[in-house]
Structure 1
Amino acid sequence: MKQPITRIAALDLIKGMSVIGMIIIHTLLIYANVKSQSESVIGSFIVFLGRGTSIFMICMGLTFMTSSHQSLKSSIKRGGLLLLAAFFMNFMKFIVPAVLGFAPDNFIQKYGWHGPIEQQYMYLVMLGDILQLAGISLLFVGFIRKYVKNKYGILAIGLLIAAVSREVSGIHIDYPVLNYISDLFFSNDYPAYIYFPVFPWISFIIIGMFFGKWYQELNYDSRKLFRNMLYIGLLFIALGAPLVFLYGDYNYNGFYHMGPGGVIYFAGWTLIFLWAIFRITSKIKENKFTETLKYCSRNLTSMYMIQWILISWGKGIFGYRQHGIGFVLMLILLYIVLTFSVQKLLDLILKKKKKPVIVLEQPISVDEAVMK
């Protein structure tokens, strides 16, 4: 019996766009001076794009529900692999340049360290970003997928986590190992260990899971799914906007540590954006650009790691936050080329190591090879 087509082309294109977008954003944040980031039109726009993390999170939740890997064991395994990948990336980003002596002084001085160098290195390796969030989230959302069968039950869990996020924000267990785990979940000391604490950011993933379950119930009708996203998005904005703009100290409190109103408000705009992208991309025929975006989508995790490592190493050559917007735009082009080049090199290495098979439905990606 033929299986239904569950993959949504629009989501692949959006995730592909996020790969290009994160190279642009991270290059600006690392190399542009403060004036270029905050006072130039291009810099301000790129910083604004950096607020699109919720888009990736909701897409992650949706594809998690429709993935071919549906077992709880698979979810836990993938979560553990992502956490290992996150720590490896931090080691390559920070420790390699520091040990080899090409980390710029003003970057090291940014943190105002006075303790032992080993403690400083440990801080950098444990620094939490999206990979840590995705990894630890997969350790938990697998249980939701396995045991919560009603889509509204899934949504209720996501909204409940958002509702209590400000109440639990800042919980800290002052004991080795446990203090890092508590920071992963509840950190509110930006920029401390964790940029994206599980509370509230896992809420976006679970909201995406709600739509993934709905997609299944709609018999994989993507047009109906995205129309429902539009309606729910409008509802979320209507509910979240008054909370954010009237009670912002509690409900927003900055992008990285939002309260319930901020989560609902950002989720609303994200859902409307996804609907708009679906409407636009559904009319676009397959071409080289869309093929490139789908390639980025298949290799999102590895390309995320590659671009961060390359950009971090480049601080030893180009300096840290010292350049105007014109020079940064040239660096953006450089890092896009370098990221794709390294990814292609990894593809070739993987292809040589892989045993020949008679039939492949589609080329295997580095991400897929890691997960299998």
Structure 2
Amino acid sequence: MEAIQKTTKTKSKRIKTIDFVRGISVLLMIPVHVMIVYSTVATWEATPLGKVIQILEKGTPMFLVVMGMSFVFSGKMTMSTIFLRGLRVLITGYSLNLMRFVVPMAFFGGFPDSFVQANGLTPGASENYVFYGLLGDILQLAGISLIIMGLIIKFIKNKYAALVFTFLIVLLAKEIAGFRPGIPVVDYLCDLLWGKNYNVYFPVFPWMSFILIGLFFGMWYREKGNDVRFMIGKMLPFGIAFIALGLGLCIYDKPYHFGDYYHLGPGGSIILMGINLLLIWAGHKIVKFVPQKLYDIIAYASRNVTNFYFIQWVIIYWGVLIFGYSLVDNQVQLLVTMVAYTVLSFGVLWVRNALVAQWKQKRAERKSLKRATA
């Protein structure tokens, strides 16, 4: 009985910890995205709110680390299952591009000239539809990474293979960054894999390494009999060691090892990986003190991570049509916008889920009626 209780307790903690840190990482995206889209450059760079949001931005890759851990938790590690899941995420990513960019441009008058020019484009040019429709973001990263995982999963027999792949990607990313053979379609695929320009914000190299380090810890968790406390406990020394190693590399050569946030070198990737491991460790310690109602809200965002991400981005970019781009310098106004968009995102998500549940129920009733009358 004691062993059963321990297993149940560990499983419960695992679920709560994962839902908590993933939900937090998703919720952090709204204030980060609001600041990126609506605040002036000076407000982002020099105000207290801007500094806080820059720190919060470093925690959004928790979503990727947890994604890697989830391979083990779900138990669905077959090649075909992972591959098909990757295709679905990739389709969702490009559907998001259509909804947040192409639809406003085609039907609602388009974005302000300053927004288009910030991406190095010419207002009114037809090429803008192609650029925004093919923009590489975190869903493209997740989808392609899952497809690659489906292809290499047979070679990842133990946690150390996952760790080796992690560091191979980290070390190779900067060396192959920006390589293009000069063939348009192939060039775009290369940009998705290791691009260094802002038509792709999250190239697979190095960002897939965050998924693989999550897989490493997930496989370690499984080796230790699903002991979540052991797995999370190991994140503390690994996180500290990664930060120390990455910091040393960045001090040695910051332009090479850090670059910019979206196109990191080895040192920057390792630092950020360490930070997110420590955040997951801290989340495991904190979650037990979180009030149940607050946890339920965070867990709801976690369970609906892709839909929540999709909805908040559409709301934020459609808001540009009303409020303009990069114009707000009032920190209180920005905070109010963050809260309002968070509430609105939850509201749209709830309505969407209610409608989907209603449609599924009606479909099940029709099938049941059809079988009864057959």
The two structures have a TM-score, normalised by structure 1, of 0.90
In structure 1, which of residues 199, 209, 212 is the aligned counterpart of residue 215 of structure 2?
209
CA distance, structure 1, for counterparts of residue 241 and residue 363 of structure 2: 49
In structure 2, stretches of 5+ residues that fail to align are: 365-374
Deviation at 1:285, TM superposition (A): 6.0
Secondary structure of 2:361 counterpart: coil
In structure 2, which of residues 65, 69, 72 is the aligned counterpart of residue 65 of structure 1?
72
Cα RMSD over matched residues?
2.1
User: Using a 3 Å threshold, how does the CA distance of structure 1 residues 108 and 258 change in structure 2: closer, same or farther?
Assistant: closer
Deviation at 1:176, TM superposition (A): 2.3
Indicate whether 1:296 and 2:301 are aligned. Answer: yes
> Which residue pairs with 2:368 in the alignment?
none
> Which residue pairs with 1:15 in the alignment?
22
> Which residue pairs with 2:145 in the alignment?
137
Q: Which one-letter code corresponds to 2:147 in the other structure?
A: L
Q: How many aligned residue pairs are there?
A: 354
Query: Cα deviation per residue 1:73-129 (whole Å; 9 max; x = unaligned)?
Result: 111111111111111111111111111204222212323434983321011011111
In structure 2, which of residues 110, 116, 125 is the aligned counterpart of residue 117 of structure 1?
125
Task: Decide whether the 8 Å contact of 1:154 with 1:206 is kept in 2.
Answer: yes
Query: Cα deviation per residue 1:262-290 (whole Å; 9 max; x = unaligned)?
Result: 22222122212211221122x32661100
> Which residue pairs with 1:367 in the alignment?
none
CA distance, structure 2, for counterparts of residue 262 and residue 111 of structure 1: 24
Identity %: 37
User: Using a 3 Å threshold, how does the CA distance of structure 1 residues 20 and 285 change in structure 2: closer, same or farther?
Assistant: closer
Deviation at 1:355, TM superposition (A): 3.3
> Which residue pairs with 2:270 in the alignment?
264
User: Using a 3 Å threshold, how does the CA distance of structure 1 residues 357 and 320 change in structure 2: closer, same or farther?
Assistant: closer
> Which residue pairs with 1:104 in the alignment?
112
Deviation at 1:150, TM superposition (A): 1.6
Q: Which one-letter code corresponds to 1:14 in the other structure?
A: V
> Which residue pairs with 1:239 in the alignment?
245
User: Using a 3 Å threshold, how does the CA distance of structure 1 residues 42 and 114 change in structure 2: closer, same or farther?
Assistant: closer
Deviation at 1:28, TM superposition (A): 1.4
Task: Decide whether the 8 Å contact of 2:113 with 2:123 is kept in 1.
Answer: no
In structure 2, which of residues 190, 194, 205 is the aligned counterpart of residue 186 of structure 1?
194
Indicate whether 1:171 and 2:179 are aligned. Answer: yes
Indicate whether 1:147 and 2:155 are aligned. Answer: yes
User: Using a 3 Å threshold, how does the CA distance of structure 1 residues 136 and 327 change in structure 2: closer, same or farther?
Assistant: same
Deviation at 1:68, TM superposition (A): 3.6
> Which residue pairs with 1:370 in the alignment?
none
The two structures have a TM-score, normalised by structure 2, of 0.89
Task: Decide whether the 8 Å contact of 1:65 with 1:145 is kept in 2.
Answer: no
User: Using a 3 Å threshold, how does the CA distance of structure 1 residues 102 and 167 change in structure 2: closer, same or farther?
Assistant: closer
CA distance, structure 1, for counterparts of residue 105 and residue 294 of structure 2: 38
In structure 2, which of residues 277, 291, 312 is the aligned counterpart of residue 307 of structure 1?
312
> Which residue pairs with 1:83 in the alignment?
90
List structure 1 segments (4+ residues) > 4 angstroms apart after TM superposition.
Answer: none
In structure 1, stretches of 5+ residues that fail to align are: 359-372
User: Using a 3 Å threshold, how does the CA distance of structure 1 residues 286 and 326 change in structure 2: closer, same or farther?
Assistant: closer
